């Protein structure tokens, strides 16, 4: 048994019929186009992940800077109250 009750022989017969109808050149082009689409999709996903990482790192740096600024403000306020 193959995929969902379809045997390997049935798949080979369907493949042979497709090749007879469309020809090997067209079949090759379809495979090439499909491979290019998958490659483009993977590239877009990795670019999106990199952009998300950069945005997260930028946000962390901003949070650190905000924390440092807030800490300095608190120290200055404490110095004013001590005087």
Q: 21-70: per-residue pLDDT in tens?
A: 888 788 788 888 989 999 999 998 888 888 888 888 877 776 665 555 55
Q: What is the pLDDT of residue 41?
A: 92
How far apart are alpha carbons 24 and 2 in whole angstroms?
Answer: 24
Spatial neighbors of 19 by CB under 8 A, at least 6 apart, are 27
């Amino acid at each position: 048994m193959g995929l969902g009750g379809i045997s390997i022989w049935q798949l080979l017969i369907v493949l042979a019929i497709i090749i007879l109808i469309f020809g090997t050149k067209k079949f090759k082009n379809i495979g090439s186009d499909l491979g290019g689409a998958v490659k483009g999709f993977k590239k877009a996903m990795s670019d999106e992940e990199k952009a998300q990482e950069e945005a997260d790192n930028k946000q962390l740096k901003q949070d650190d800077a905000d924390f440092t600024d807030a800490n300095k403000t608190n120290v200055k306020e404490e110095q004013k109250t001590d005087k």
